[in-house]
Amino acid sequence: MTARLLEGKIFSAQIKEEAKTGVEEIKKNFGITPSLAVIIVGENPASKVYVRNKHKTCEELGIKSIVVEMSEHSTKEELIEKIDELNADKSINGILVQLPLPNEIKSHEEEILNRIDPLKDVDGFHPYNVGKLVTGSPTLVPCTPAGCLKMLDLAGIEIDGKRAVIIGRSNIVGKPMLHLLMSRHATVTVCHSHTKNLPEVTREADILVAAMGKPKFVTAEMIKPNAVVIDVGINRIAPKKLVGDVDFESAIEIASAITPVPGGVGLLTVAMLMQNVIKAAKLQLNI
Ligand code: NAD
């Protein structure tokens, strides 16, 4: 049996459509256009592609998009000043600082990100939003794990009562995924680089989320027959070849559903960002 393919383009189109309706409602009922400001510091080519993509998607959905380009040699103070300016600007609903930051200011990343007004923090990285996620209050949630959850819902995959295993405990993917799945009544185990007997744990999973950044690490032997496999990993193994953390060719034979790489979770992240801009606008409007 071959698994059902969970294609990112299908779910991201649905998520974007919902966001577009949200934009239209806010415009009609409150007379404002939801807006996103993305700050990019330096010339990292991959970051430029990501930022362009976010800008394009905003335009597609009728969200106002501002890209603030800052020099590679910007200081922490200059960046914080820009964030303060955007925090105070009532016409801006969402603020995002594109990562990674240049080496010169990388060590200040936490301080810089924490400067963003939590109600405008569309990446969901601010401790205020992390705390709300942990306590189960509605809040701005990191886009990649939020996109994975949304995809499960749109695909009609049940979460309640299921055993879920996440490989990876990062603040961006693994940890928020834990809280999202737990809030939906899954029994969740988080594995990481110190986990002993990893295959034994992953073989328990009805829903397996791989977010470790290790190409094709998760093989069929690590997957329970008929599990749902979500591959968050994006690994460049050659100039034009991306693979996930899951060995797709063997996994597809044992899973009941699986996301491909490329063409899977990656597409959901930008789509969820658009929903976060709407959510942020609503939080600011107190609705
Ligand atoms: P990270 O490097 O911050 O975290 C990796 C995690 O994997 C760590 O918690 C580590 O303990 C765990 N890990 C590493 N080796 C392991 C092993 N052998 N066994 C068990 N656990 C192990 O990475 P991240 O930022 O969470 O990203 C993970 C992957 O997801 C990367 O490939 C990244 O490119 C990708 N990613 C994709 C998107 C997207 O939009 N699709 C977004 C964010 C990250």
Segment 49-62, tens digit of pLDDT? 999 999 999 999 99
- Average pLDDT, integer, range 175-187: 98
Q: Give the residue whose CA is nearest to atom 8 of ligand 1.
A: 168
Tell me the pTM.
Answer: 0.97
> Where are the extended beta strands (E) located within 178-261?
187-191, 207-210, 228-231, 235-238, 241-243, 257-258
Closest atom, ligand 1, to C-alpha of 213: 32
Using the predicted structure, report yes or no on whether residue 210 has a pLDDT greater than 90: yes
Using the predicted structure, report yes or no on whether residue 1 has a pLDDT greater than 90: no
Question: Among this protein's residues, is 245 annotated catalytic?
Answer: no
Rounded to 5 degrees, what angle do the CA atoms 29, 13, 287 make?
25
Residues near 97 by Cβ (< 8 Å), separated by ≥ 6? 38, 39, 41, 79, 83, 112, 113, 116, 123
Q: Of all residues in the chain, what percent carry a pLDDT higher than 70? A: 100
Q: CA dist 116 to 25, 126, 131, 265, Å?
A: 26, 8, 15, 26
- Average pLDDT, integer, range 21-44: 97
Evaluate: CB of 214 within 6 angstroms of ligand 1.
yes
| pLDDT at residue number 15 | 98
Using the predicted structure, report yes or no on whether residue 233 has a pLDDT greater than 90: yes
Q: Give the residue whose CA is nearest to atom 30 of ligand 1.
A: 233
- Average pLDDT, integer, range 240-244: 95
Instruction: Please identify which of the residues 16, 54, 162, 224 carries the catalytic annotation.
Output: 54
Mean pLDDT, all residues of the chain: 97
| pLDDT at residue number 287 | 87
- Average pLDDT, integer, range 200-221: 98
Rounded to 5 degrees, what angle do the CA atoms 266, 268, 270 make?
85
Tell me how far apart the alpha carbons of residues 75 and 112 are, in angstroms, rounded to a whole number. Answer: 11
Residue 242 three-state SS: strand
Q: CA dist 189 to 19, 152, 217, Å?
A: 32, 18, 18
Question: Among this protein's residues, is 98 annotated catalytic?
Answer: yes
Closest atom, ligand 1, to C-alpha of 264: 41
- Average pLDDT, integer, range 92-116: 97
| pLDDT at residue number 199 | 98
| pLDDT at residue number 277 | 98
Tell me how far apart the alpha carbons of residues 139 and 124 are, in angstroms, rounded to a whole number. Answer: 8
